[in-house]
Amino acid sequence: MLISILFLIFGLIVLIGGAEVLVRGSASLAKKLGISPLAIGLTVVAFGTSAPELIVNIFAALKGSTDIAIGNIVGSNIANIFLILGVSACIRSLAVKKSTVFKEIPFALLAMVLVFTMGNDAFFDGSSFNTITRTDGFSLIAMFAIFMVYVFGLSKMEGNNTEEIQEYSYLLSSGLTIFGLICLFFGGKILIDGAVDLARIAGLSEAFIGLTIVAVGTSLPELATSVIATIHKHDDIAIGNIVGSNIFNVFWILGLTSTMLQLPFTPAVNFDVTVGILATVLLFLFLLIGKRRTIISTQYIFSRWTGVLFLIFYIAYLIYLAIRG
């Protein structure tokens, strides 16, 4: 148990350090390449911070632990919105671009709705079983390809912005970004190994482990990155990281996992997927409520009080999971 606790602490240190380096490197790289920080957050940063989910799901698929594979993705998406965005907003109110509100967030909502429809064959098709099949997986990957085309177009349209970003050389910016991604990858894996060991010593179920400890653990890179980005006032990277990770988690990671192994979809997971859908809808609605008109443009603000409310939602969800067992 002591070794597992040490793994947790060491993994967390590596995650925080990696997040700091990744944010600095990716922001500088975006400025030098003339690419918007939002596009970087939706792709490079989101992909890097989703690496632990990818590794966990690949290992879970190879071991046949389907409950952990599905619970990890659904739980991570819930944690990304309620926990990570909530914590980030508690630090400072976040300004969100119009394209994020009306394009990327609806895309993330579509991802969760597809998980619900693909996982409920018995309800929609009258099938005798509920499974996210290999063909479902290929469909999700196809949606991921469409999203990448959209982000490429977004980077060309928006270009760079006027944020004050510390700029490094191309070599150093690339090196910091890659090193940050590597730290997030290994830090996440070390932390997860320790967390899962502790959970199993406590005798918790696979589904509970996937939805809570593994989901929160694999979301720690997103948490560290978004918090650091918020502190440095890189709102586009903070928001793009969260929304992009949710899209990556479903379309890329769950899609890839289900092409390796068909994933049985238990009825209990429907509630968790519904919470994920609700979290995305609430994010959209609260951004509309926080809209502010200025002389120059219209801003969408995710305020501190909303962040506190989202944290309360997440605590309530965890209490429900603990009761459900």
Q: What is the 3-state secondary structure (H, E, C) of the chain?
A: CHHHHHHHHHHHHHHHHHHHHHHHHHHHHHHHHCCCHHHHHHHHHHHHHCHHHHHHHHHHHHHCCHHHHHHHHHHHHHHHHHHHHHHHHHHCCEEECHHHHHHHHHHHHHHHHHHHHHCCHHHHHCCCCCEECHHHHHHHHHHHHHHHHHHHHHHHHHCCCCCCCCCCCHHHHHHHHHHHHHHHHHHHHHHHHHHHHHHHHCCCCHHHHHHHHHHHHHHHHHHHHHHHHHHCCCHHHHHHHHHHHHHHHHHHHHHHHHHHCCEECCHHHHHHHHHHHHHHHHHHHHHHHCEEECCCCEEEEECHHHHHHHHHHHHHHHHHHHHHC
d(CA 183, CA 48): 10
- Banded model confidence at residue 72, pLDDT cuts 50, 70, 90: confident
Cβ atoms within 10 Å, residue 292: 11
Is the pTM higher than 0.85? no
pLDDT at residue 278, as a whole number: 97
Q: What is the dihedral of CA 8, 12, 14, 19, to 10 degrees?
A: 150
**Closest of 48, 11, 13 to residue 226, by C-alpha:** 48
pLDDT in tens, 98-137: 888 888 999 999 999 999 999 998 888 888 888 999 999 9
pLDDT at 175 over 70: yes
pLDDT in tens, 249-289: 999 999 999 998 888 888 888 999 999 999 999 999 999 98
Parent domain of 292: 2-324
d(CA 207, CA 153): 38
Average pLDDT over residues 213-223: 78
pLDDT at 162 over 50: no
**Closest of 140, 101, 98, 146 to residue 119, by C-alpha:** 140
Q: How many domains does the chain have?
A: 1
CATH code, domain with 48: 1.20.1420.30
pLDDT at residue 293, as a whole number: 67
pLDDT in tens, 180-203: 888 877 876 777 677 667 767 777
